[in-house]
Amino acid sequence: MLSYSYQRKYCGKIQAVIFDWAGTTIDFGCIAPAVVFVQIFEQAGVPITMTEARLPMGTHKKEHIRQLLQMDSIKNRWQEKYQRFPTDDDVDQLFENFVPIQIDCLTQYASLIPGTLKVIEEIRARHYKIGSTSDYLRNMLEICLKETKKQGYQPDSFVAVDEVPSARPHPAMCLQNAINLEVSTLESCVKIDDTIPGIHEGLNAGMWTIGIALSGNEVGLSLEEFNSLSIEEKNRLRAHAYERLSASGAHYVVDTIADVMPCLNMIEARLAGGERP
């Protein structure tokens, strides 16, 4: 009988970086989905705030609507409007209303976040593969891909939420990217995301994670809106976003995609030492 056991360690380089979309590579502030959630609830006669609309961000859009309707504040407003609490039929109807409005506005919010192309160029130079996950449906994601390709960004793999059995925080989209990209081990992958479910998605897949604070959902302001703030207000919002993403388990948190390369360097150093996520 053996008296010892042995642990296999990966000590190689990063093989793949898997990016989120809105708030991470495009749409500074993750505006596109938030404004549509506000709009469909307004149309239903039960207005919600932008802050409320953002709380479940990162989940499947239909699940996002379900979670909004489960919030006490919104559920009670729904009961006041319709003399009953919301049902699954209401979720279905709101989601049906959501899809065409979201599709119609995506091109308005498909600009790359500053620094994206430079980071992609550096990643390409290192021969990392590039994947992506999104809580957009496939037909929505294809609109984003068409727009970003014009700007010089096209990942090697892209997986939409309706192409896998389970949405975030389940790891299915990350795992499908790993399959598509033919990486040899999950600890060689890095997931970069601006939402807590997106960070959990990467962690659940056994990957390194980097949270995006300022350009994403946790701050939720366009670049122009953010730049107009005082230094004190910027610092307050930054601290809040960093705290939230760090508490979610992210290995690193940075302001925007422009700041991820030092984190990738540190991850490679940790991998060389045999560390795992």
Q: Identify whether 149 is a catalytic site residue.
A: no
Q: Identify whether 20 is a catalytic site residue.
A: yes
Q: Which residues pair with 208 in a beta bridge?
A: 190
DSSP labels, 70-115: HSHHHHHHHHHHHSS---HHHHHHHHHHHHHHHHHHGGGG-PBPTT
Alpha helices in the chain (DSSP H): 31-43, 50-54, 61-70, 72-82, 88-105, 116-125, 138-151, 172-181, 196-204, 223-227, 231-247, 261-272
Gap between the Cα atoms of 176 and 205, Å rounded: 10
Q: Which of 27, 61, 62, 135 is catalytic?
A: 61
Q: Could you give the 3-state DSSP secondary structure of residue 150?
A: helix
Q: Which of 20, 27, 193, 194 is catalytic?
A: 20
- The label of the residue with tokens 């959501």 reads 98
CA atoms within 13 Å, Cβ hemisphere of 171: 15
Q: What positions carry a catalytic annotation?
A: 20, 61
